[in-house]
Amino acid sequence: MYRRWGLTLVMGGAIYGQDVPASANKSDSVTPSTPAPTPTPRHWESSASLNLTATSGNSESLLFGGSILAKGKWDRNELGLGADLTYGQTTTENVSNGQLLKTKSTSAENYGSFLQYNRLVWEDRGYLLAHVDGRQDKVADVLYRFTFSPGAGYYLIKEKTIEVSAEGGPGIVFEKLKGSPESDYLSLRLAEKAKWTINDRSRIFQDIEFLPKVDNFNDFVVNGSVKIETDFSKALALGVTFQDTYRSEPALIPGTLPELHRKKNDLKILAGVTYKF
């Protein structure tokens, strides 16, 4: 026996003016529930680098640096954190009262760390972020500089072999320079990051950030780096890193009259080994 129905839902579709067996019921037309999507597993990339430079002869010098970096991705979350240090010492020979004396001096001593969390909110390119970093540079007389900055970013290019992103947002900086009072001020943080995978063994990393004071754009800090890395095994890679920090108003040199400042630019070139785990 058949009934004539004007509209019958069957497996999510519509049948108009067709003969449907009387035995058909609502349970026949229910679409099976779709299983909940499986959360994306966390994917971590971690590495530790060691750099060393030494010279001997009429003068002796030792410069070493190290860093550790970890990046994680899961679902729509991205987390990056890391820390680095550089220390250098130079020994020179000078004559005083007819005697040859050796003088040791520190040529580099700085430490830093950072943490950044991204939450993808627009497809897989736009994201909101929170950025925190801190740094100390004793040779440049930066006793500490802490930056806290929320903001937003966007992947301008996000391909298998190249990624380029731009970020921006407000921030607050807490800073203490030797010979100057403590200061805290509002700033902007404008940044750009890129990764270019040349082939299966070689990569180039680049980043730069601009941190001006909100009320005085002539007072700013620029941090930048470029790293070229090549694998020579699955876990080990050789790399060369160029790091630069520019401070438009550097610290005063205590006791100088007239007052003199430290140099505005600090450039480091480091070569070493990276272990990936």
* Tokens found for residue 29: 């037309």
* Average pLDDT, integer, range 119-127: 93
How many domains does the structure of the chain reveal?
A: 2
Do 14 and 120 lie in one domain? The reply is no
Do 17 and 70 lie in one domain? The reply is no
Do 121 and 24 lie in one domain? The reply is no
CA distance 31 to 28: 8
Q: What is the pTM of this model?
A: 0.78
DSSP 277: -
For residue 14, is pLDDT > 80?
Answer: no
Do 71 and 166 lie in one domain? The reply is yes
Q: Are 209 and 224 in contact (CB under 8 A)?
A: yes
Do 104 and 181 lie in one domain? The reply is yes
Percent of the chain at pLDDT exceeding 90:
61
Do 258 and 136 lie in one domain? The reply is yes
* Average pLDDT, integer, range 98-110: 83
Do 2 and 86 lie in one domain? The reply is no
CA distance 62 to 108: 10
Do 58 and 26 lie in one domain? The reply is no
CA distance 123 to 166: 16
For residue 26, is pLDDT > 80?
Answer: no
**pLDDT tens-place string over residues 205-243:** 999 999 999 999 999 999 999 999 999 999 999 999 999
Do 49 and 28 lie in one domain? The reply is no
pLDDT confidence tier of residue 40, bands split at 50, 70 and 90? low
pLDDT at 109: 92
Q: Are 79 and 261 in contact (CB under 8 A)?
A: no
Query: Around 27, how many Cα atoms within 13 Å sit in the side-chain half-sphere?
Result: 2
pLDDT at 33: 58
**pLDDT tens-place string over residues 171-213:** 999 999 988 889 999 999 999 999 999 999 999 999 999 999 9
pLDDT at 154: 98
Do 185 and 110 lie in one domain? The reply is yes
CA distance 256 to 197: 49
* Tokens found for residue 20: 């449907």
pLDDT at 96: 73
Phi, psi dihedrals of residue 28, rounded to the nearest 5°: -70, -25
Do 144 and 26 lie in one domain? The reply is no
**pLDDT tens-place string over residues 267-276:** 888 899 999 9
- Nearest residue to 207 via CA among 121, 133, 122: 133
* Tokens found for residue 127: 């994201």
CA distance 184 to 187: 10
3-class SS at 27?
A: helix
Domain that holds residue 157: 43-276
CA distance 210 to 97: 50
CA distances from 176 to 20, 137, 183 (A): 82, 11, 6
